Each structure stands twice: as structure tokens, then as C-alpha cells.
A and B are shown apart, each in its own frame.
Chain A
């Protein structure tokens, strides 16, 4: 898999360079290359005009590049001072200077890292990068978990750090943050740079356009609502607040990661709670993580079928299970869904991703659901299997099932769905029929103020 293709990124002393993009656009991969965590397949990294080989995080550190990850990397059982000494590689401790002194304010050196608040931990992470002698900071979504006041404080610190000659690469998908703090901006989309320029010349709209892309306007020749009519009278299967979903709807859910769409899908599948969600009838879920949540690799195909349909009267006889019946049905499904497998007794873990996904869909439909929920239905599948999966999802909706999918790929949502719901900050809104990817993208980012929401 290639996450980044021919994308280049430069950073000068004294500037904040924002790197923006949807999830999976390749932002983190690019930064990981700069931090020496991932070796590039092609291309070079230059520091101070010289080509360098960053084969390890240590090599990057020695050149003054420090990465601050989204997740915390401090040792929970050590104090702030001990964590800093550890990062600096000096047992006698490390004293902050410059920006560091301000970062140390409100960070008691003898407090245990495990007892710090989220904002304090964030500061500790940055201090640790400074303790390694970093002149270049790569910040991976540093404000994702902070409150507005803490975000303000962090932005001040970033400005101060670059004023003293440092350089900061800021990964984010908050457009206001980009406009408010950065000097330059680069937008990535599917590993390709779609916009590069001075921040002062950009607007939220121009950034959103570059993030979502403008070339592929909603292509919904097949996905539009013509065939829905016969089911309209059948009633509502899913309610989300005022939004009513009916049999035959093929619903696409669009959202930027972390806005609650996952919780929404799982609430529809009756695994979690989400405000305003009401479901009638049976729900089948095809989880995104096929091998951790969908299938058990060591179990056979037939056993995995029974895993999802434990109470099916075809094989469940009170406490007993009729494995021959399950095996026969599995063989039929292998045939019907064109699953490439040696047979019903083959371990599910030996199947390729596409065939695992077909098995999961077959099992989900075998429950005769009124609602089918699918997370990233074609992740990791080749073109042919992707098309087949789309065809089957459309056919399922046409047969009177409410099909609800989420895809990280907005194009897939738009191509497949005849109704699009957007989740932003745990609020669900329906995109107007025929909305193009730009309009949906702006809804995803919350650009257009709705109900006073920024």
C-alpha cells in the first residue's frame, strides 16, 4: 500500500507549516518519514540542505527533529522530571530553557506522569521533544484532545518556539487552526499534494475544496432514489432524531474521524448508545476490522457462520449444534457469493481479505436483517471485488433492506448511497439530495455555520 505518492514538504526555520488532509490522506505517513519511523520507498530527505538517511528515530533526533505523537509516550510510573531526563538521555536531569521554561509552568516536576491532565501530558510530550534538543517539532494533531483555552495556550507556545528560530510542522484537520497559526499550508489528498501556499492567501472554503477534491462531483447514476418507491410504505426501520430511514434506503454516512460516526453505526447495531437512535427489526453488522471483530481466523468457515447465527433453527437444536447442517449451508453460501475457499472446513484466517468480506456479507444477509450496517465495506479490496461488493449492497437495498454504510472514502459514500448523512461533533444531519462532494465535505468539516455552530 502506498500512502504518499510524490508528495514533498519543506519546512524553514521560524515558520509554522500546517499539513492538512482527510483521514488516510497520508499526513501521518509523511511525518513518520521525516521522523525516521518509516523509510520512504523513493525520494529523499534533506536537512540544512544536505541529503540525509533517516533509518531510525534516533537518526532524526540527532538532526534535531522531534516528533510529538497523538498518543502519549511518557512512562506513566515516572515523574515529569524523570521522563524528561529519560528523553534527554541524562541521568542528572534536564533543565528547560527558552520556550521550555514557559511550558514547565504548571507542570510540577515531581508529579507522576500518570497523574497529569490531558493538557499537562501534551506539554510534557513537547518538552520531551525539546529535551532531545529538537529544533524542528512535528506535532501530530496536538489539539485534538484539548479544550479551547488550552488550545489557545498551545498556539501561543508554538508561535514563541518559531520566533526563537525553531520550525513546526502542524498536522491537523481543523481549518481554523490552520488559518490562525500557520505561515504556510500543504493539503494532502490520497497521498497527493492538492494545495500548497501561504496561509494568508487561503480561506476555509479553498482549504476544504483541496481536502475533499473538486474533480469528482457526486456520481450517483445508479445510487439515486428511483427504485426506492415500492418500500416507502413499509415504515421506518431506523430513526436518528428527526431523520427516518426506510426499507430500500441505501444510506451513506460521511464524517471526519472522531466525530461520532462509529458510535452512531454501533448504536444502530445495538452495541452502543447514541442519542436519538431508535431501531426496529433485526440488524446485521459487518464490522470494519474483519479479523478482530468479524471472523475468528482459527475457526472454520462453517464455525464462523454459526458464530453469527448461533440460534438459527437450521442447526441449533436446543443445546446441540448440527454441524453437518451448518457445513451444508456454508457450502451453498460459498457457491452463491463466489467465495474462493477450499471448503466449509477451511480456517477463515486462510482466506484473502476480499473473500473474508464476502463471507461476512453472506453471514450478515443470512440473518435476514431489516437493517444492514457496514463499516468501510471495501477497505483493502481490489477493484473487482469492490465493484462486486457495491453491486451486492445495491441489490440488498433493492430487496427491501435498509443498508447503512460508512466509508472513509467520501467518493464511495457518494457513489453508492441514495441518502447521505453527515456526522459532525456527534450531530447528524442529512445532506440535501444531489449534494456534491464539496457541499458534503463542507458539512463534514462544519464550515457552514448551522445552529450557531462554528
Chain B
């Protein structure tokens, strides 16, 4: 166990350092003061109690929840690129239910809203699942395209059926007070952080201790062997994995509505569904890893805002850093695998 974990930590650190080195060089080349800018990045993410809780942690929550769902799919070898759309589907459903639950006890109100978000996220991926099962349509394409449909549906909802009563801004009215999550006093950090941590623990247990988690992995790594030797219906496992990842992304949208914004509006998500892909991949689809990579990307995005405010560096610069980190990880992964296969071929050679 310690071998791969140590290796993951090492490659992660190298990737992180490379990413920041590229960022610093880029900043210097563009005429910014790299020390000032990186300092602002740090302060934006961790500089104060408020920055840590209200910027970094609040952004990490959806990344962790969505990242867990995607990791589940990736383990089964399917690539749900539509978490953004499922997040929005969840957010729409959460808002609609959240507007109806006035006067309910908080527990029931939040439960109803989250359930609606979960179901909406699942339904949003039903069509890709059916298309894949029936016609072999690649889920990468169908889930990706449904993102645009989801964004358009949000635009329609906030200018139509869910538009605020005053009819001024394209946004919904705030959800019922009972459906809003409690926050840590003096910050914007909400109960959703516990949801993320509980889910990560649950997924860790599912992945490593249950037959279901094992089947996911077997199908992801060797679908034919899983069918012939394991008598596992890989089509069914893949379908369930996709539905689960949609459900989690939908729940992520519900948590965001009940914990952060309380209202629905366009561009509610700054691309959480896409960043979560990197969160899952960087964590090698390990649930505990997802907590850390979720925090990392939450911190980077919070820091990007700080950098923009303090040093005038466009927040896009951080996206370049994120991209460099991902590229280095992927490269390291390939190199490690190649070294692994070289070693693997040696004992086979001596028997022949």
C-alpha cells in the first residue's frame, strides 16, 4: 500500500512545483512581480481564517463531491464529462423544491432539496446511459453535449418559470430559510463540508471493502476478463457507475444552492464539473486523494481571485498552472507505467 501512495505523493509534489515554476516564469515574462503575485495567491487561499474557510474550503466542497462521483465512473472505465450539466440539473431541482418547502422542519427541507438534486442529476445522465447501452454511443460525447442543454435550461428557468417575483434580474428568489445549511459562525463555510467528508469515507469503504467496488474496478481494468472469468455483466456495472456519478454531481448542485448561493442564476458554477475531472484524475480515483486534490484546486481558485484583486494578474493564469500540473501528472503516470511494464516482462522472459 505504501509504495503506490508514496509514488503518488512524489509525482504530485513534483507536478505542483513544476506548475508553480511555470506560473512564476510566465508572470515574470509578462511583466508582473512573481513574488508579489504568488504571495497574493497564497494569501487569497490561506492568508486568513476567512480566506481558508470562506474561499478555499467553500470552493473545495463541490469539487470533492463531484470528484468522488467522477472517480467512481473512472474506476469502471467510463468517462462522464457531463458533471457540469448534472450539477446544473441538480441546482435547478434544488431551487424549485427549495422554494416550496417554506415552514418545513430544517431536516426535512434540506433532505427534500438534496433528494431532488440527486434525482435530477441521475435523470440528466439517463439518456447517455441508454444511448450507450442500446447503441454504443460514447458517453464522453453524449454527457458533454448535455452540458450545453443544462446551461440553456438554467437560462430559461431564471428568465421564465423560476425568475424572481420582482422580475428584474435573471435569477430565482432565494430558497426557503429552513432549507439553507448552517454555516460556521464568522465565515461562509457550510455544513456541506461534512457531506463531502462523509461521502469520501463512504466511497473509500465502497471501493476497497465491498464486492460492488471490486466489480467496478474489475470492469474498468479488464471488461472481458470480468465477464468471462468473473461472470460480471460489465454493461450493467458501467450503467450503474454512470448513474451514480450523475447522482453525485446533481447532489453537488443541491449542496451549492442550499449552502452558498440560495438562489439559482446563470454561471452559478465556475466550471466545477470540469475541474472535478482533474480532481478525480489527480487523485487517481482514490476517495481520500480526492479530498486533498479537491482542497488543492479549491485553494488554487481561491488564490486566483486574490491574485487578481491584489496583484492585478488575470485569474486565467491559475488555469494555466492547473493545466501544467495535470500534464506533469499524466506524463509521470505514463513514465511510471512504462517502467512497470519493463519490469513485468523480465520474469516472463526467464521462463521461456
Contacts and interface: CB of A to CB of B under 8 A. Distances in A.
A323 B209 CA distance: 8
- Which of A295, A319, A354 has the largest number of chain B CB atoms within 10 A? A319
Tell me what chain A mostly uses at the interface: helix, strand, loop, or mixed. Answer: mixed
A298 B232 CA distance: 17
A351 B343 CA distance: 11
B212 A319 contact: yes
Contacts of B222: 292, 295-299
A203 interface: no
Interface residues of A, number: 33
Interface in A276-328: 285, 287, 292-299, 303, 306-308, 310, 316, 319-321, 323
B347 A308 contact: no
B218 interface: yes
B221 A296 contact: yes
Interface string B322-349: 0000000000000000000001100110
Contacts of A354: 351
A373 B347 CA distance: 28
B228 interface: yes
Contacts of B225: 292-296, 307
Contacts of B212: 319
- Which of A310, A316, A351, A353 has the largest number of chain B CB atoms within 10 A? A310
Contacts of A352: 347-348, 350-352
A349 B231 CA distance: 20
B217 interface: yes
Nearest to B211: A321
Contacts of B343: 350
A309 B145 CA distance: 40
A310 B210 CA distance: 11
A330 to B, nearest CB: 14
A214 to B, nearest CB: 30
Contacts of A133: none
A353 B210 contact: no
Given A319-B211, A352-B351, A307 B230 contact: yes
Given A296-B221, A350-B343, A321 B229 contact: no
Nearest to B215: A310
Interface residues of B, number: 25
A287 B228 contact: yes
Nearest to B1: A345
Interface in A383-407: 385
A350 B344 contact: yes
A299 B232 CA distance: 16
B334 to A, nearest CB: 15
A435 interface: no
A353 B348 contact: yes
Interface string B168-180: 0000000000000
Contacts of A385: 351
Contacts of B226: 296, 307
B287 to A, nearest CB: 17
Contacts of A292: 222, 224-225
Contacts of B211: 310, 316, 319-321
A298 B348 CA distance: 16
A347 interface: yes
Contact of A285 (B217, B224, B228, B352): B228
Contacts of A355: 351
B214 interface: yes
6 contacts: A298-B221, A308-B229, A310-B230, A316-B211, A320-B210, A382-B352
**The 7 A-B residue pairs with the shortest CB-CB distance in the complex, in nearest-first order:** A296-B222, A352-B351, A293-B228, A352-B348, A350-B344, A307-B230, A298-B221
Given A294-B229, A310-B232, 10 more contacts: A295-B229, A296-B222, A299-B218, A307-B218, A310-B214, A321-B210, A323-B209, A350-B347, A352-B352, A382-B351
Interface of A: 271, 285, 287, 292-299, 303, 306-308, 310, 316, 319-321, 323, 340, 347, 349-355, 363, 382, 385
